[in-house]
Structure 1
């Protein structure tokens, strides 16, 4: 779950996130042969393939019709959710690993989290990686699995995201904010101090996390806006680097110093200027957020999260009417410190930090308000999944 981050991760910038106590489970046993057999508790169909099949990235062979739209060689008809399992095999194979043991498994996500925009794709990919590694007696570090999961999304699925989600899932610890420099891959865990309410079973009880569903579900791979925003950030970086006399530097915004941005930002076209402003202001919010979190100033931390959400709307121009309605309903809810989109605003979930004593009241308020604003979408959400009350959790 990103606190302040988007799009800094894809640009090699500084990000912050944490894991929550909801997620998914993959129950599996080694198959005793190269075959993989998978089913989902949420989605129909059965996936079958072999670990001795060579997997290929997105667009491989499309020109001659030898692969389907997800980049896999076969079969013609396959469960959409199965792409991540094949992607996990692709990632492992791409680094020279030879697997001979498949798995038989059932995957199930927590109520309300499927296709919600809450790092669910990264969690699925990591689950398949860990299962295949376990079945084949592979010893793989969290850092290596972060890279493997990046390969699933960037190369196999063709998605231009960074490493925030998988880093939060693999590196986070209960009660801590995970800070990562996406360029150096360095990270640290930060526990807040001076909170008014102490620990219960080692977990801070002064805040809860609300996850509110809009009822919109869409895979990032089916939304061109996601990759387009990344491309716009790269173009903004290219203009700024050219203007500062460094045209040969990799065009990502983390390679542009803030003072260079301030000097040359007038050279950016309006759309690119908004994208760059979001990146540089988001980087500042990440750093200020670390200070607020460390000192236990949840009010200030929440204000920064809210500012991140507002900039996502105004500068990054993501979101849609239902998501914005949900975001604003969360901000009006009692006890909420701050709120923002999850999934970069391209899928159907918003999150909020809320005073623990007001969490239930806030959840009820948001359900009622959203049903007034978006009655058709709200009617499609199971009542128990409309607003989930969560806590910080352990990583995978």
Structure 2
């Protein structure tokens, strides 16, 4: 990542005529636990080795100037008068973080910021959280403050929820900020307590991008969340003490079935069973039982496809091809859904052959060249800063 950081510093110097300070935040992939985070449930993400670099330097005119090295565009804001007024533009994400920090009465003077990165967009690898957390790391340096993990993640989530208007949960921002290399994170999205779980050395996590893009700030992602919250509200009303789907059982859901829409029932069934799968996956990892872990991934994909109805033909095909390979333990859709990527658990010695076979068969059936990445759990933004990385 040192090369990426040095490039971003050079771009900043060229754009603004000043040396800057660099911060970095990774992307993430979620191994299991989809659409559970915003109902207080369990997730199991890990950070991966794509990054957003944010380079910052002070200005004297009270303005915030964001420059995207990827889009080669600038966006300008008056720091003192910034309002929650998204433009449906890439700059909404860093501007949202600035706004969220101001809501916490963190004093910020004018600044120039360059953003550069290699996180695939619209792939379900959380390019938005990577931008948000990198921006927040840079802004806290600029303000001379150090935010704890929980506060940093919560402010970045607020930026996406209340400024951008995307109804994400806390998972993405939390793991992008707080991940640790060589570990998957089991996160309790209600308490924000987490375990760091080792992945066996003999397996690799392979991410396959269907090249079908999705946008989570609008459309079906928001519809699904509305359906979930409608069902959750019914259960909360009818079952005292069940505040979130995290607390609900399938028996609770069945008892309330006739009081909610069929779609809400299915969405809630996915989340309740998905929480059970995440806790079972934790035990499988602790026992290094990758066959069991893979079975849980397949069950999770079927639930996303059938109950949550958030898959698509290309993703289903990738999973089907993956599970025909002898050294693939499990495969499923990852991210918000409606395109994006699959995540696959594969024997290390077979990872390259797995990628070649999958790409060949997917292209033959769809005409699409899938991007595939063999990954390992990486450090989050806070660990990168502590370990002498870009921060």
Structure 2 residues not aligned, in runs of 5+: 1-28, 382-391
Mapped to 1, the partners of 2:72 and 2:215 lie a distance apart of 16
Aligned with 1:271 (options 244, 260, 263)? 263
Does residue 95 (structure 1) correspond to residue 104 (structure 2)? The answer is yes
1:304 is aligned to 296
Does residue 140 (structure 1) correspond to residue 140 (structure 2)? The answer is no
Q: How does 1:102-113 map to 2 (within 5 A)?
A: 102-110=111-119, 113=120
Does residue 156 (structure 1) correspond to residue 148 (structure 2)? The answer is no
Is the contact made by 2:253 and 2:265 (CA closer than 8 Å) also made in structure 1?
no
TM-aligned CA deviation for residue 24 of structure 1:
2.5
Does residue 240 (structure 1) correspond to residue 268 (structure 2)? The answer is no
Is the contact made by 2:66 and 2:113 (CA closer than 8 Å) also made in structure 1?
yes
Mapped to 1, the partners of 2:62 and 2:117 lie a distance apart of 23
Alignment root-mean-square deviation, CA: 2.1
1:167 is aligned to 174
1:357 is aligned to 349
Q: 1:48 to 1:274 in 2, by over 3 A?
A: same
TM-aligned CA deviation for residue 344 of structure 1:
2.1
2:136 is aligned to 129
Mapped to 2, the partners of 1:227 and 1:25 lie a distance apart of 29
Task: Provide, for residues 313-348 of structure 1, a one-character-per-residue CA deviation record: whole Å limited to 9, x for no partner.
Answer: 011001222222223222223421111112221342
Does residue 52 (structure 1) correspond to residue 48 (structure 2)? The answer is no
Is the contact made by 1:38 and 1:47 (CA closer than 8 Å) also made in structure 2?
yes
TM-aligned CA deviation for residue 132 of structure 1:
1.2
2:18 is aligned to none
Is the contact made by 1:146 and 1:163 (CA closer than 8 Å) also made in structure 2?
yes
Q: How does 1:1-396 map to 2 (within 5 A)?
A: 1-31=29-59, 34-56=62-84, 69-70=87-88, 80-110=89-119, 113-192=120-199, 195=200, 204=201, 206-222=202-218, 224-244=219-239, 250=243, 252-265=244-257, 267-375=259-367, 377-378=368-369, 386-396=371-381
TM-aligned CA deviation for residue 263 of structure 1:
4.1
Q: Secondary structure at the match of 2:80?
A: coil
TM-aligned CA deviation for residue 51 of structure 1:
2.6
TM-score, normalised via structure 2 length: 0.84
TM-aligned CA deviation for residue 56 of structure 1:
1.4
TM-aligned CA deviation for residue 253 of structure 1:
1.5
Mapped to 2, the partners of 1:171 and 1:144 lie a distance apart of 11
Is the contact made by 2:334 and 2:343 (CA closer than 8 Å) also made in structure 1?
yes
Deviates more, 1:341-350 or 1:304-313: 341-350
TM-aligned CA deviation for residue 39 of structure 1:
2.9
More strand by share: 2
Deviates more, 1:307-316 or 1:329-338: 329-338
Mapped to 1, the partners of 2:215 and 2:239 lie a distance apart of 38
Task: Provide, for residues 130-154 of structure 1, a one-character-per-residue CA deviation record: whole Å limited to 9, x for no partner.
Answer: 1111122122111111111111111
Mapped to 1, the partners of 2:112 and 2:323 lie a distance apart of 45
Mapped to 1, the partners of 2:59 and 2:365 lie a distance apart of 49
Q: 1:245 to 1:364 in 2, by over 3 A?
A: same
Task: Provide, for residues 347-383 of structure 1, a one-character-per-residue CA deviation record: whole Å limited to 9, x for no partner.
Answer: 42222111111110011111111111211x43xx6xx
Is the contact made by 2:45 and 2:184 (CA closer than 8 Å) also made in structure 1?
yes
Structure 1 residue ranges (4+ consecutive) displaced by more than 6 angstroms after TM superposition: none
TM-aligned CA deviation for residue 267 of structure 1:
4.8
Mapped to 2, the partners of 1:43 and 1:374 lie a distance apart of 29
Q: 1:147 to 1:28 in 2, by over 3 A?
A: same
Deviates more, 1:322-331 or 1:150-159: 322-331
1:77 is aligned to none
